[in-house]
Amino acid sequence: MNRDEQLRREAVETVNKNKQIAEQDPYRLHYHIMPPAGLLNDPNGFIQFGGKYHLYYQWMPFKTDHGAKFWGHYSSSDLVNWKHEEIALAPSEWFEKNGCYSGSAIERDGKLYVFYTGNVKDEDGNRETYQCLAVSEDGLHFDKKGPVLELPKGYTAHFRDPKVWKQDGKYFMVVGAQTADLKGAAALFSSENLTDWEHKGIIAGGGTGKLKNFGYMFECPDLFRLSDKDILIFSPQGLETEGMKYQNVYQAGYVTGEFNPETGEYTHGEFDELDRGFDFYAPQTTEDITGRRLLFAWMSVPDQNEQDHPTTDYKWLHNMTLPRELTLNNGKVYQQPVRELEALREGEAVEYTAELNNETVAFNGVLGKAVELLIEDIEVSEGWFEISIRGNARLVYSANEKILTLERKSYTNGIVEKRQCKLALLSSLRLFLDTSSAEVFVNEGEETFTARFYPDPENKEMSFGASQKTNFKIKKWNLQKKFI
Ligand code: FRU
């Protein structure tokens, strides 16, 4: 048996044993992508190929911690029902021995080309990085071609997460980087043939321009066109908290601008976070055949109390967000759950038209662990409006301060913690609540809040409160269980 076969066999054996424990966990999610066992992090190689959506993912199958990552694989024909496929990439070769790290996929001549980072550490812990290519006919089995790009001068070995696209007949790649003077940067490459890559320079960060002093590392960059703008998404590390901004250990957000494929220049505006919640990192997008720009993100943040999640007791850790569709409205990226997710709804909605005034109420049938809540025509005259969720989380809008807040009881110490954003007006909320996660889409995607939370598994209660006159309509659906 060669090294690749051996690693795969060990992974499958461990996962088959541990998934029986994972399946006992009351916090196992019902309709979010999770690993069968072990740790999941970044979405990788997200693409529609051969009539299916493919979502590969960073996977440590042996334990609920980071390490020499594999590429796990889910496929779907509708973004709702996912099949767990066999391991796509195992870290078996010298150029990836410490992990097949994050990367992306592109189709050429009916074949799938995936680019990923081969992570290597020597005996002294020094890091090496190789941007590697693997090619597949079916999206399931990959032929590793090895490194196609070595580290250019001017960067440290914190250089990873290639995202590749085609534009004007040429291929481009952005890579997350750290410059030799320890500034976070996005590096650009171009190629005619996907194997020979030319370094074009830094397109954001790196000690110049608008993001001059913007942390020490950019991870997972992604550059794409949305309406009439070129959006660069990335996950910067090393930002200081600024008021309500940058509260998590690391951030994930975007700039909008203009990319010139002739010169490889990119001019852009200010950075904005993509999500206002506790758990959102390393988002990756793809364009599907209908022209939609779709996004998945990892519903966690590196180094953010990862080992305190109670699911580690059941041998699994972390999950993806729901798939979201991006649009650009007045220069701002909006995120909406993809419309296919309506297929998760079970039966008819429970509906109410409510008027609250200095009271808290629970509506009959508006409760549950895996539910969608659509709250529309919200009018908060003054004071505050709140939704309490399963005795653990709370969403509060202050009409006076024009601030939306998500609170949860910390899974680390039980103390209430919060994330907030400015919001001039609250008109609608769409909540996707799963057994231990919440995704809140505000005003049809103007803002989102994403978080894990761990209520008492038996608690299904929800209540609505307002300090002064507040009107709204509610629809609530139970959502189907799609994962075990
Ligand atoms: C982001 C990240 C990437 C890296 C991968 C390793 O979460 O650190 O930069 O490729 O995870 O799993």
The pLDDT assigned to 255 comes to 98
Ligand 1 contact, 42 CB (< 6 A) = yes
Å from CA of 362 to ligand 1 middle: 42
pLDDT at 436 over 90: yes
Across the range 233-243, mean pLDDT stands at 98
Give the model's confidence band at 130: pLDDT under 50 very low, under 70 low, under 90 confident, else very high.
Answer: very high
User: What local confidence, expressed as pLDDT, does residue 74 receive?
Assistant: 98
Beta bridge partners of 408: 393, 417
Indicate the pLDDT class of residue 264, thresholds 50, 70 and 90.
very high
Write out the two tokens for 235.
């996950």
CB of 149 closer than 6 angstroms to any ligand 1 atom = no
Please check whether residue 57 is in contact with residue 40, taking contact to mean a CB–CB distance below 8 angstroms.
Answer: yes
Substitution site in 39, 97, 101 for ligand 1 pocket (most atoms within 8 Å of beta carbon): 101
41 in contact with ligand 1, CB cutoff 6 A: yes
DSSP state of 23: T
Each residue of 33-83: pLDDT tens digit?
999 999 999 999 999 999 999 999 999 999 999 999 999 999 999 999 999
- Across the chain, what does the average pLDDT equal? 98
Amino acid letter at 377?
D
Query: Cβ(157)–Cβ(177) under 8 Å?
Result: no
Calpha distance 159→236 (Å, rounded): 13
Q: What is the mean pLDDT of residues 195-204?
A: 98
Q: Quick one: DSSP state of residue 382?
A: S
Q: Is the CB of 163 under 6 A from ligand 1?
A: no
* Nearest CA-CA partner of 297 in 313, 318, 266: 318
pLDDT band at residue 150 under the 50/70/90 scheme:
confident
Residue 102 near ligand 1, beta carbon < 6 Å: yes
Mean pLDDT on 278-293: 98
- How many whole angstroms from 86 Cα to the centroid of ligand 1? 21
Write the pLDDT tens digit of every residue in 339-397. Answer: 999 999 999 999 999 999 999 999 999 999 999 999 999 999 899 999 999 999 999 99
Q: Categorize the per-residue pLDDT at 411 as very low, low, confident or very high, splitting at 50, 70 and 90.
A: very high
What average pLDDT does the segment 142-153 reach? 96
Nearest CA to ligand 1 atom 6: 101
Token code pair at residue 379: 């009018």
CB 415 within 8 A of CB 350: no
What are 300-344's pLDDT values in tens digits? 999 999 999 999 999 999 999 999 999 999 999 999 999 999 999
What separation in Å is there between the alpha carbon of 220 and the centre of ligand 1?
7
What pLDDT, on a 0 to 100 scale, did the predictor assign at position 148? 98
Q: How many other C-beta atoms can be found within 10 angstroms of the C-beta atom of residue 412?
A: 12
Q: Tell me, yes or no, if the pTM score tops 0.85.
A: yes
What pLDDT, on the 0 to 100 scale, is given for residue 125?
A: 86
Please tell me if the CB atom of residue 280 comes closer than 6 angstroms to any atom of ligand 1: no
CA of 111 to the centre of ligand 1 (A): 25
From 4, 25, 42, 109, active-site residue: 42
Our answer to whether residue 78 is catalytic in this structure is: no
Q: What is the mean pLDDT of residues 201-227?
A: 97
DSSP code of 244? T
- Proportion of the chain above pLDDT 90, given as a percent: 99
Residue 257 to residue 254: CA distance in whole angstroms: 10
Asked if residue 431 has pLDDT above 90, the reply is yes
Rounded distance between C-alpha atoms, residue 96 and residue 186, angstroms: 22
